[in-house]
Amino acid sequence: MSGTAPQRLTLAHGESVAYAVRRSARARRMRLYYRPGEGLTLVLPTRVSAKRGQQFVEQSRDWVAAQHARFGAEVRRVERERDTLPGELNLPALNERWTIRYRRTAASTVRAVGGADGEVVVSGAIDDVAACHAALRRWLLRHAEAAMRPALDALSRKTGLVFSTLKIRTQRARWGSCNSRGAISLNGKLLFVSPPQLDYVLAHELVHTREMNHSARFWARLEAIVPNARRLDRSLRRGWAMVPGWV
C-alpha cells in the first residue's frame, strides 16, 4: 500500500481536517477510517481516480465531522507528542515506568540505552527530535522482543499451539497477525496496553496457527484459553489511545 501527500477537507463550520490517502492494490472499494493515533485516512483502490476519492470524502463530510468531534482531541494530543521529547515511558503491559534522560554528545547519530535503574538514556545529536523518537522506537522494539518472545514461547508450550517464527515491529492498524505458515507478527505498541490485553493478543495469534479465520471454532478454541476473549477483543479498539504519538 502506498501513500500520497495529505489532503484537507473543510467541515460545515469552517474547520479543516487533514486526511491521508493510501493507494492499495488489494482494496476493492473506497473506505474511510478515523483512528486516534492516525487521524483520517482514505483507502483508495489503484483503479479509482484521485478525483473520485476526493468526491467520496466530501460526500462523507457529516461522518467525518462526527468522528472528528469524537476523536479530535486525541488526534491533537498525538500531533503535539510528535513534536516534543517525552520525559518518561509508561509500559502498562509490563507494569514498568521508565524515566528518559537526554545527553548531548559529539555523535552525529542518536541512540537509546536502557539501564537496570529504570532509566533510558538517549544520547547523541539530541536536538534532532525525529532522530530521538526513532532511537526510542528502536529501544522499544528491543524491549518488546525481550518481553514478548518468552511470553509467547511459554503460552505455546502450555497450549500445544506451535508457531514457526516471531517478528516484533510497529504497525498502524493491527496488534498482531499470523500467516498460514505459522509465522506470527506482534506490534511493539502492545507494551502500552494492559497485561490481560497483551495476553489475549498472544493467545489470539497462537490460535490462528490452527484456525486461519474467525469462525465459531476459532472463538471456541480461543475462549478455552482466555475465557473473556470477546470482551478483551472489543477493549483493544480503545487501546490505540494509550500509544504515545511519537511511537
Q: pTM of the full predicted structure?
A: 0.76
127 burial type by CB count under 10 A (0-12 exposed, 13-18 middle, 19+ buried): exposed
How far is residue 201's CA from residue 235's CA, in Å, rounded to a whole number?
Answer: 12
Digit-coded pLDDT (tens) for 35-56:
766 778 999 999 999 999 999 9
CATH architecture of 88-242: 2-Layer Sandwich (3.30)
pLDDT in tens, 46-102: 999 999 999 999 999 999 999 888 877 777 777 778 789 999 999 999 999 999 999
Stated as kind and residue range, the H or E segment containing 35 is: strand 31-35
CA 97 to chain centre: 19
Listed residue (96, 104, 183) closest to 139, CA to CA: 96
DSSP-assigned beta bridge partners for residue 8: 18
182: helix, coil or strand? coil
Q: How many CB atoms lie within 10 A of CB 102?
A: 16
Location of C-alpha cell 517464527: 165
Nearest to 193 by CA among 242, 148, 144, 140: 242
Tens digits of residue pLDDT in 111-135: 999 998 999 999 999 999 999 999 9
Domain residue ranges of the chain, discontinuous segments joined by + = 2-81, 88-242
